Every structure is written in structure tokens, then in C-alpha cells.
Structure 1
Amino acid sequence: MAPKSSSTRPPLVALKDVRLQDGPRPLFDGVDLAIEPRSRAALVGRNGAGKSTLMKVVQGLIEPDSGDRSVQAATRFAYVSQEPQITGDTLLDYAASGEAETWTAEAWLTTFGLDPAKSTQGLSGGETRRAALAKAFAEEPDLLLLDEPTNHLDILAIELLESELLQARFALLVVSHDRAFLNRVTDTVHWLEGRRVRTLSKGFVEFDDWSAKVMEEEAESLRRLTKKIEAETYTFYRSITAQRTRNEGRARALDAMRADRAERVRDLPKDLNLGVDSGALSGKLVSEIKGVTKGFGDRTLFKGLTTRIMRGDRLGIVGPNGAGKTTLVKVLLGQLAPDEGTVRMGANLEPVYLDQSREGLRSDMTLWDALTPGGGDSILVRGRSMHVAAYAKDFLFSEAQLRQPISTLSGGERNRLLLARALAIPANMLILDEPTNDLDMDTLDKLEELLEGYDGTLILVSHDRDFIDRLATSTLALNGRGDIVETPGGWTDFIRQNPGFLKPGANPRPQDQQAAQDAVIEARRVEKAQPSDRASKPKMSFKDTHRLKELEGLLQSLPADIARHDATLADPGLYARDPKAFDRAMTNAARARSLLEAAELEWLELEEKKAALAG
């Protein structure tokens, strides 16, 4: 539903009843969307829902199959895609290649920390993103569209972008997985779900509660429709009139209700089936670092680091791009020798490293090739063999996608593929380097839930402040000037205890670093001395867990049984030809419906019990 404007000004862009096919499947089915002047709207939805496509429809780059698109006269658009292509000899050539004045382009490049004379060749991911943002701001649009703008940006660049967006006079439509970013900059949320758009006229901070309520209402509506179909089917086939001659109007109404239910069930969101095996138990000590310094050439990345990583720790690593976070990980793992100091590794470590560069994923290889690098049609998943199609389905890939080149996958789908490869291997230590890039929020929530229950050692390199806050028990920060500090807790705890540490020119006092390290050691001592929340929480019994799986199977099989019995009863000549067969079908259909209702109630009770134990 399109949002209602609080002003008398018409929307910059409005879509009405827009429909678009993506091959055999409908991508949009009656989308309504309005973008008000100076609004800052988030566009959220699952990977593959069509968010990037919808942004192109808004701009007029893609023509819908049907529906209306209206635009205010002379509206100027600027768009930053997920993977911007930087052209021209210099960054200034690129930034001024659109509608921007040269001096404006130069000013915005400088604002985003870039040298206008810098060559466009050999740019890092962060530089590419900042250049694209500078070009878009310089064009002074009426509507700025950003597709995952925080990817590859460090935290300082993200905070700069937030500040500029809050001061801007243009309207904004942004797709992002970064909750902290959306919480700060948005005042409207457009939710693309089930091929339609729902709008919340509040900021993203209100989205979770609102969307949960919407889903509960739709689940209740589906339950009422199912009950109505059951009652109508029973009445239809038991009535004397129906036994002799079909009431065609009633039959059409029943068919319409069944079709409506089938469409709603088809549109129910599918969940990732993530799993992780922590493998064999590592030694209690994972890594001990004493007085470690590392640099390249004349530049020191970090100096004087002393810390310990113990089994089960959850370490977040933050800092500007180029500060040395990946180098630090390699030193912590003993893969790179320090210039000074010592690193002692623990015993029986089985690490798995998820690399942000997506190394090993060639664009011309297929999804099947990526999951089975040794060939064949099966993959070893945490010690057991699975068919590649079954495992791919756990990560929401269809069988048709298995033979498609990786170049056709979206950024989120490629990141899911990396997760699929990494999580198939047993590991008592996970190192995740920017794992949240391009993931939709549902996938991100599933990943966080998985990692919360992981009992191995976790190292997270991320610019996603919310992600670090939710998972890290201590945080190592580098400021790019050789300083490094460790504090207990996540991003919010770090920034509260070390204000200004990441800002240019700020340097921590030596006593501050020592006090922070002492606090981390004390926090770990207390955590080890007391049972952790994860360990102390009661869990579902094996019997209940097994029964829950059985019920989930019944909830899938019983509707198919009911449909089969209904198909038998739909034969208009069955009762006259074989009354006993008709009665058996009626009895079996009623029994299946009764079993389904009982299974649904028992499943709900066990799910509520599971949620209560988890809470």
C-alpha cells in the first residue's frame, strides 16, 4: 500500500498496481509505492525478492508489464548500484561525467576522503564505493537511490555518509542490510514481500515489531481461510443436492478459495537451513600474543599488542579500511610472522576462513562447480554426504540455479554460496571477514542465531556495528596509525570506552590501553568462572525435539493427503458409481483434517515451549 503523504505536495515518483514477470514467475504483482519529497525511505526484502529491479522501475530504467508510473516533471535521479563501475582517467573525470559541475564533483570527492587526481585504476572496494557516492551527491538529485551503500565502507565512512544524508535536501530510497545505518537515517520503510509492497510511515527502528505483527495477522488470516475451506468442502460434498447435481456457483467459490490459499502458501517466506559443526575440541588456549608489532615498509600497522584468545571467545575486529585488520587476523592465526613479539598457537585447531574477497569464486563457474570443487554430484556436509541439490536448497538455491554461472547471482546470493561452502566443513574456529555484505536481514538474523549457538571460537572482522554488538564479547580496534586497543563487549562498549580513538589525529594514552587489556582479562575470568548464558539455558528434550521434526513432516504431508481425497470426491459420478468409495474418501478426508488440526495445535505448543526456553 502506498504511503499517505503528510503534506499537500505530490510524490516525486508513484507506482500504481505495477506487475512484472521474471521469466515464468511473477516478480511484482500489484506493487503500489510513493516516494515523497525529502523522505528517507528504506526498501527491505529478502534476497531475490526484486529490490534492485524495483529501484530500476522507480527510475524508469525497466518498463513494467503493466501498471502506472508517474513522475513529477524535471525530477532528477542519481543511482549508486551494488557494484559501481568507475570510468575515466581520474576520479574527477568520473565524478564530473554526469550532470555535476566540475567544482562540485571535486568538493564531494574531497568530502569523501578521495584525491580528485587519483587514477581510476586499482581502486579498493571502499574507494570505489566512495567515488560512486561522491558522483551521486555532486549531481544534486531530487531522488537518490542507493543499493547496499555501506558495503566495503569502513565505520568512519559509514558515519560520514549518515551525516551527509541527514543534512541532505533530496529524497532517498536505500536498500541496505545495515540495521544501525537504517535506524539512523530512515523515516519510512517499504517492505517488498510476497510480490507486493507494504509501507510503514516510521523509521526502520520500528520495522521489526511492525513486520512481526503483519506476519502474525497474515498467518491468522490463512488459518481462518483454511478452516473456511474445510467447512465449505464438508458441506459441499455432504449435501443431498451436491450428491445429485453440482451447485456450479458454490463449486467455483470453493475453487477460488483453494486457489487463494495455494497462492498464499506459495508466497510464505522460505527459511535458510543453516548448520555448523564445531568439530573436535580445541585446546583451551587458542592463541597467546605478547608484545606483537607488525608493519610493511615504513608503515606500522599495530604495535605492542598483548592478548589471549581462549576457546569459546568471540572477538570482533574493527577499524578503518587499510588499517591492517586482515593482517592482524593472519598474525593471530600464526599465518604471518610478527616483526616483534611472539605468537603461541593452541593445540588441535581446525579453522575455517570466510574471506570477503570471495576468492575462489570465478564468475564463469557454476554454482554446482563451486559446491563440488572435486567434481561429482555430492558434497560432504559436516561429515555426511549430501546431494548437491539438497544442500543448495538449504541455502535457498533452486535446482535450476545450479547450472547457472556465478556471474548471474546477486551479491547476496554469492555471499550465501560462500557461507554454504564454509559451513559444510567442521571447524572449531570460524574467522568471518565481512560476512554481512549483501545479505538480506532474514539471512543475517539466521546467521546471527547460528553463531550465537556456536560453541567454537569466533573471530569477526566487520564494519556492521549492530552485528558486532550482538555477537562479540571483546573488540580489538585499529586506528590505522599503529595504535591498537582491546575492550570487553561489542562496538557500543568500545566506542563508549574509547571516544575518538578512530578519529584522525586521536591517540590513546598508554595507560588507557593497559587498563582496557586488564578489563578484557577480568571480563573473561568472570565469564569462565560462571556458566555462560548459552550453557545455562535449558534446552528442549530429545523427545520433544524429535516430535517437533515429526510434526513438521506431518504438516507437509497431510495437506497433500487432503488434496488427494478432495480430488477423489470431486468426481461427480463417484457417489452414483461407488457409494462405498465415496464414503471412504469422505471418512479419510475428515480423518486427515482432524490429524492436521491436532498436529498444528501440538506443533504450536512445542514451538511456544521452544521459544520460552530460548527466551
Structure 2
Amino acid sequence: MNYVSVENLTKSYGIKVLFKNISFHVNEGDKIAIVAKNGSGKSTLLKILMGKEIADSGTVVINKDIQVVLFDQEIDFDSDLTIDEFMMTLDSAPIQALKNYHKSLLSTDYDFIEKALAEMEIHKAWDLENDMKQILSQLKITDLEAKMGTLSGGQIKRVALAKLLTETRAEHRHTLLIMDEPTNHLDVEMVEWLENYLSKAKITLLLVTHDRYFLDAVCDIIWEMEDQNLYFHNGSYATYLENKMIREDNMNSTIDKANNLYRKELEWMRRQPKARTTKSKSRIDSFYETEKVAKTDTRKQGLELDFEMKRLGNKILELKHIDKSFGNKLLLKDFSYQFQRGEKVGIVGKNGAGKSTLLNIIQGLEKADNGEIETGETISFGYFSQKGLTYKEDERVIDFIKEIAEYYPLANGKSLSASQFLRLFLFDDQTQYSPISKLSGGEKRRLHLMYILYQNPNFLIFDEPTNDLDLPTLTVLEIFLQMFQGSLIIVSHDRYFMDRIVDHILAFEGEGKIRDFIGNFSEYRENQKLEEKNPKAAVIEQKVETPTPAPVSKPQTSKRKLSFKEQRELETIEKEMPELEIQRAKILDQLNNEADYEKISKLSADLEAISGKLENHEMRWLELQEE
């Protein structure tokens, strides 16, 4: 069954064309993810399908037998309503039947009671209340009398999600469910629940998300919006990346051929007299088409590897016996940790567990109840918070960045201009000279991120950096952070992002308890699930404490036993070293057979990154063996 048919759709804002003459169809059972850079028109396309925006040209045909339901990033609600009242504001016949039925229980009007019972039968609303309560319970919403205005951002998101899923059950019609970044502000447990629900549900789905694990689990079709066009990919996120690379390689080949032809035709154009024959006019038209292709810019500027980071001293950051509570809620209890040079730590836990509070305490933005914090003299923090960007009215993007500095230093003595750095983070020349107020929400988020990095800190603290960022920007950010030589703390619910960046987890598990886990995020979740199923089989809890160095004494011949944390670290290193060797060999083989300069630069960067990691692993392995 066809749900939606779109033909030759075009939409512009001023001189900026979002998409031009795109066509597509949505059929029953399709589960589609839309991937694009922020500002490409993803949200605009969704609004056109919802009838909230009007296209410049083209046709949109929605099957009259389906309902279209949107789960938007911005959630509208009345702060004075209770959760129960908010849920009952659903605009559907079954919900209205249920409300009338509840009223009839307090009525003595037999005609009204009879009519209410008939409506319950007609709209099959008897099971709806149970469905609603079940969904609320699964999303950990228990206090239905709580006011909407008292809820946290994550709780509001879950209640809105419960309302949406109830609506799709309430209407016994075909439904197209449109979801714009549904995982933002949800903790990992809720993301996994939603992922499982959507992957199993027999629904038709159009989804915008930056969560790549979520995308792969739920969707099997990817639409890519780029350069005003729409490209279609069947399969996983990895398949999409492969198809995209092939398309760009083909395009580059076409441009090279067009360049060769363009040079020859340009000579002919210069030799031609002013009088033109019909034949020469045809050739002239062809010349301009060739010129257009030849001047197409498909260059993907890669990040440089030699950033000059501010020097880190011997002392980085040490927390000693930190306590923190809010009223009766205990967040941190006797927490001690010593951060090392170049350490990349991921912090995870449920919303409200105290993750952001710890980040504020580290930076002196909030005081601990007890304990001591020692920060190295050379430490320069870069803090990317969940708060929005602050800027002057009508200030241009390029001027906003230049307020920090005209140039970003590189270790080889060279530098990148503010404009070049902006291009690295996918701001083209036109956008750079646009007012910040004209940027999309995602583009402002990207600019905020770039603003932090451009200040060249040596200790980065990121609080949910992936929310509202598009996948191309996430890829750029991941490359940057993998190369970053300073210390890094990331709070994030994005599992894919965490797995790529960190190999050490601090997990907030409630009641002030923080677990120190050596491994990536997926490994931590697997261990956590194993504990839930079989506590006896769980890994022994690791105490979050860095031992105080012992006084210098005479060398001892006997070796001490490795701690549990060190043993886990040694096992991880021994597992990863052969894998890194294989990766290194593959890159060397590719370099030997590659002629394209840009690809050679990218491969060289990858080789340096892997070689550096391998060298660090080898040094640490020797240290642990000597212990």
C-alpha cells in the first residue's frame, strides 16, 4: 500500500536552495532514516509532509486512508497539566470515547452512559487505557499526577513519547510515524527500549537520527540529502557509507574528464570568430555544460593531524574523596580519581544521576559538600555544555570565530585561518558570512562545538555533544577527538560515538556509587546486563580510586601482583595490539597502491594515528609486564 508520493519537490529560503526536483515514495512497512548535514532541509521536508510548510513547487500526495503522526524535537505542553491530563489531550476518537466513558461513571444520565458504552465498542477503546499505562510503565513514568512543568527534559521527552506511541495504537488506521531525533535527552536504557520497540513494531516509519546503532537496528532504508538531491540506499549505515564513497569517486572521475575536455574546448572558444554557425552554437552550449561540471567542487577537506595543543604539565586533575548531595538525593560519595595525560574517559548513567554535577564541580562551577580538587597549573578547560550558544544580534559566523583569534596554530609552525577552520567543520563560504541568527538549530550547535575547539584547550569536557549534531559533523568530531592529545571527559548516551572515542568508563549507578570500568561502552553494557541476569557471573566491582604513590624505597626484586584494573588493562592491550598491527599493514598496502593526493593524505593521517596508538600500547604493555 502506498502511503506518500512526492514528485519534483523544490524548496528554497532566499537564495539558498535546500532541495530541487526530488521525488520519492513511502510504502507500508518502510522504515526509512534520513541522513544529511544540518541545514540541508531534513526538518523542512518533514514539515512539508505534515502540511506545516509549503514547497516552492512539486506535488505531495498523502493517502487519504492513513494518518501522519510527528514526534518533533520541540514538545509543546501546558505546564499546569498533570501527566495523566496531558496524555488525555490526544486528538483521536478512541481517546474521546475513553474520556466520555470516565465521565459516564460519575453520571446518572442513562442515555449518556449508553452512548459512552457504544462509543467504547465502536472505537475498540476498552484496551486503550491498559496500553497507555503499559507504555508509561515501560518508559519509567509512574507518577501520573506530577505536573508537566516539574519534569526534567528527559522526563518530558519520555512522556511525549508515551503519548505518541499510545496515539499510534489508539487509531485503528494505517499510520506513518515521523520522528525527528527521538533519542535526544533519553538515557541509554530508554534508547534501547525504544530501539527494540520500533524494530519489532509493524509500523511505517520516517526517521531523522544521529544515533548510528539506533539507525541500524530500526531502519533498513537510508535517504541521503546532499547537494540539493536525494539519494537512496538499501541496507545498513555501512552500506550507505560505501555507496556514498563510490558515488563521489565516480563524480571525481567525471570532473577529471570534464576538466580535460574543458581545456580543449576553451582553446576552441577563444579561436572562434564572432559570427556563429548553428553547429558552433551547439558546441558552445555543450561547452558551458562541460564548464559547469569541470568547476564542481567535491573536495572533502580533511582534518590536519598536527594541531599545536597547549602544553600539559605533570599535574592534570585529581579529585579526592568528593561528596555531593541535593537534599536527600546522594549523587557522589567519597569519589576519588586522578586523571592522566591523554586519558579519554566516558561518563554514563541515568538522567539525574549526577553526571553534569560532577562536570561542574571539576570546573569550579559548583561546590562539593566535602573533598578536595587539585588542578594542574597548565590546564585549560574547554567545556561544551547543553546550554545554547550566546551571540550578538546579527553577528556573522566568521566574525564570531575571529573574536577568539584570526588563526589556529599548528605544530609545524603553520596555522589555519578562521575561515579554513570553519570549512573543516562543514561551514561553506556562504554560511560563514551569514548571520548566526539565520542558522538552523543543528548548525548553531555545530558552531558552538567549533567555538570551544577553536580556543585550543588541553582538557575537553563534553556534556551530550552529539545531541542535534548531524552525522557528517559527528564524523569530523570523532576524527578530531581521536587525534586530540589532551585529556577528555565525555558524557553521552550515543553508544556508537562512545565506542569510537573512549576505552574507559565511569558509570554512575545511583546512590553515589560510581563504577570504574576498563573497556568501551558496549562492553560495559554487556557486563551490566550479565550482572542483572546472573549476579554471580558478574565482573567483580572495581573501586574508583587512584592509589597514592608509595614513598621511594630500595628496589625490590620480587614483582607485585597486578590490580584487577591493571589486569583488565593488560588483557585489553594484548587483544588490541594484533588488531592495530593488521590495520597498520592494510593502510601501508593501500598507500603503496594509491595515486590520489587527497586519499594519500587521509591514509597517512590514519597511519600516524594507528602507529601512535600502537606505540602507546607497546610502552604500556612493557610497563605492566615489568610490574
Q: Please give the range of the TM-score, normalised by the shorter of the 2 chains.
A: 0.7 to 0.9
- Alignment gaps of 5+ in structure 1: 1-8, 539-599
1:476 counterpart SS class = strand
- Which amino acid is 2:487 matched to? T
The 8 Å contact of residues 317 and 462 in structure 1, kept in 2 or not, is answered as: yes
For the residue of structure 2 that corresponds to 1:12, the secondary structure is strand
**1:513 corresponds to which residue?**
542
Structure 2 counterpart SS, 1:121? helix
Query: Which amino acid is 1:361 matched to?
Result: T
The alignment status of 1:109 with 2:136, answered yes or no, reads yes
Task: Tell me how far apart the structure 1 counterparts of residues 16 and 233 of structure 2 sit (CA, whole Å).
Answer: 27
Q: Which amino acid aligns with 1:215?
A: E
Could you give the per-residue CA deviations for residues 428-463 of structure 1, whole angstroms, max 9, x where no partner exists? 111111111111111111111111111111111111
Indicate whether 1:610 and 2:604 are aligned.
Answer: yes
8 A contact 2:408–2:418 mirrored in 1: no
Give the distance between the partners of 1:507 and 1:338, measured in 2 at CA: 35
Change over 3 Å in CA distance of 1:42–1:405 after alignment to 2: same
1:293 positional shift: 3.7
Which amino acid in 2 is paired with 1:134? A
Contact 2:255 2:296 in 1 (8 A): no
Q: Is the 8 A contact 1:272 1:395 kept in 2?
A: no
Match of residue 65 from structure 2:
74
The equivalent of 1:322 in structure 2 is 352
Conserved 8 A contact 2:506-2:516: yes
Distance 2:544 2:319 in 1: 17
* Corresponding residue of 2:386: 356
3-state SS, counterpart of residue 49 of structure 2: helix
Alpha-carbon separation, structure 1, partners of 2:483 and 2:438: 33
The alignment status of 1:440 with 2:473, answered yes or no, reads no
Q: Is the 8 A contact 2:10 2:55 kept in 1?
A: yes
CA contact (8 A) 1:187 1:201 kept: yes
The residue aligned with 2:154 is 126
For residues 159-188 of structure 1, what are the alpha-carbon distances to aligned partners after superposition, in whole Å with 9 as ceiling and x for unaligned?
111111112222111111111111111111
2:212 paired residue number: 179
Partner of 1:227: 260
Q: 1:453 aligns to what? A: 483
Match of 2:54 in 1: 63
Aligned to 1:14, what secondary structure does the other structure show? strand
Secondary structure of the corresponding residue to residue 498 of structure 1:
helix
| Aligned match of 2:4 | 13
Are the counterparts in 2 of residues 483 and 508 from structure 1 also a CA contact under 8 Å? no
Look up the equivalent residue of 2:84 and give its one-letter code: L
Map of 1:156-555 to 2, 5 A cutoff? 156-234=189-267, 242=272, 245-259=275-289, 261-262=291-292, 265=295, 268=298, 279-333=309-363, 336-339=366-369, 342-358=372-388, 361=390, 365-368=393-396, 372=400, 379=405, 381-382=407-408, 395-397=425-427, 408-499=438-529, 511-514=540-543, 518-521=563-566
Counterpart Cα distance in 2 of 1:612 and 1:340:
44
Distance 2:564 2:294 in 1: 53
* Aligned residue-pair number: 537
Q: Distance in 2 between matches of 1:425 and 1:53?
A: 33
Q: Which amino acid aligns with 1:99?
A: D
CA positional deviation for 1:506: 8.6
Q: Is the 8 A contact 1:477 1:484 kept in 2?
A: yes
The separation in 2 between residues aligned to 1:346 and 1:225, in whole angstroms, is: 57
Q: Does 1:153 align with 2:186?
A: yes
SS of 2:350's equivalent?
A: coil
- Please give the alpha-carbon distance, in whole angstroms, between the structure 2 residues aligned to 1:395 and 1:450: 10
Query: Which range is displaced more, 138-147 or 199-208?
Result: 199-208
- Give the counterpart of 1:97 among 89, 93, 113: 89
Q: Could you list the per-position Cα deviations for residues 464-496 of structure 1 after superposition, in whole angstroms to 9, with x for gaps in the alignment?
A: 111111111211111234321111122012223
Question: What letter corresponds to residue 46 of structure 1 in structure 2?
Answer: K
User: 1:73 Cα deviation (Å)?
Assistant: 2.1
CA distance in 2, matches of 1:264, 1:86: 52
Paired residue type of 1:41:
I
d(CA) in 2 for partners of 1:274, 1:120 = 47
Q: For 1:455, what is the secondary structure of its paired residue?
A: coil
Counterpart-to-counterpart distance in 1, 2:281 and 2:490: 58
Structure 1 residue 382: deviation in Å? 4.5
Q: Residue 447 of structure 1 aligns to a residue in which SS?
A: helix
Q: CA deviation at 1:392?
A: 5.3
Mapped contact 1:334–1:345 kept (Cα < 8 A)? no
Runs of 5+ consecutive residues of structure 2 not aligned to the other structure: 99-128, 169-173, 547-562, 586-593, 611-627
Inter-CA distance 145–331: structure 2 relative to 1 (3 Å threshold): same
Equivalent AA in structure 1 for residue 225 of structure 2: L
Instruction: Give the Cα–Cα distance (whole angstroms) in 1 for the partners of residues 237 and 424 of structure 2.
Output: 29
| Equivalent pair of 1:27/1:49 in contact (CA under 8 Å) | yes
- The alpha-carbon deviation at position 408 of structure 1 amounts to 4.2
What CA deviation, in whole Å up to 9, does each residue of 1:256-287 have, x standing for no partner? 45346536855747658789966432233423
Structure 2 counterpart SS, 1:165: helix
CA shift in 2, pair 1:516/1:307, >3 Å: closer
Contact 2:69 2:178 in 1 (8 A): yes
AA partner of residue 514 (structure 2): I
Deviates more, 1:38-47 or 1:339-348: 339-348
What is the CA-CA distance between 1:91 and the residue it aligns to?
A: 2.9
Indicate how the Cα distance of structure 1 residues 307 and 15 shifts in structure 2: closer, same or farther if over 3 A, else same: same
C-alpha contact 1:277 1:425 (8 A) present in aligned 2: no
Using the TM superposition, give the Cα deviation of residue 148 of structure 1 relative to its aligned residue in structure 2, in angstroms: 1.2
In structure 2, the CA distance between the partners of 1:143 and 1:416, relative to structure 1 (3 Å rule), is same
Percent identity, please.
27
What is the one-letter code of the residue matched to 1:493? E
Instruction: Please give the secondary structure, in 1, of the residue aligned with 2:542.
Output: helix
Q: Deviations over 1:65-121 (max 9, x none)?
A: 222222222211111222222236223333332334263555533432223332121
**Whole-Å separation in 1 of the counterparts to 2:276 and 2:167:** 66
Distance, in Å, in 2 between the alignment partners of 1:402 and 1:123 is 38
Q: How much has 1:607 moved relative to structure 2?
A: 3.5
Point out the more displaced range, 91-100 or 515-524: 515-524
The question of 1:31 aligning with 2:22 is answered yes
Q: Are 2:323 and 2:334, in contact at CA under 8 Å, matched by a contact in 1?
A: yes
SS at match of 1:466: helix
TM-score (structure 2 length as normaliser): 0.74
On the 8 A contact 1:352/1:422 being kept in 2, the answer is yes
Contact in 2 for aligned 1:276/1:426 (Cα 8 Å): no
Task: Kindly state the Cα deviation for residue 324 of structure 1 after the two structures are TM-superposed.
Answer: 0.6
| 1:393-434 alpha-carbon deviations (Å, 9 max, x no partner) | 664456776787755432211111212321222311111111
Distance in 1 between the 2:226 and 2:364 partners?
A: 45
Contact 1:274 1:447 in 2 (8 A): no
Read off the aligned partner of 1:603 and give its amino acid letter. Y
Whether contact under 8 Å (2:305, 2:483) holds in the other structure is no
Alignment-derived partner of residue 165 in structure 2: 137
- How far is 1:519 from its partner? 4.5
* Deviation, structure 1 residue 48: 1.0
Give me the whole-angstrom Cα distance separating, in 2, the residues matched to 1:408 and 1:132: 28
The worse-fitting range, judged by mean Cα deviation, of 96-105 and 511-520 is 511-520
- Paired residue secondary structure (1:311): coil
Distance 2:23 2:536 in 1: 51
Structure 2 distance, partners of 1:523, 1:285, is: 25
Task: Write the distance in 1 (CA, Å) between the matches of 2:175 and 2:286.
Answer: 44
Distance apart, 1:603 and its partner CA: 3.5
Counterparts of 1:367 and 1:274, CA distance in 2: 28
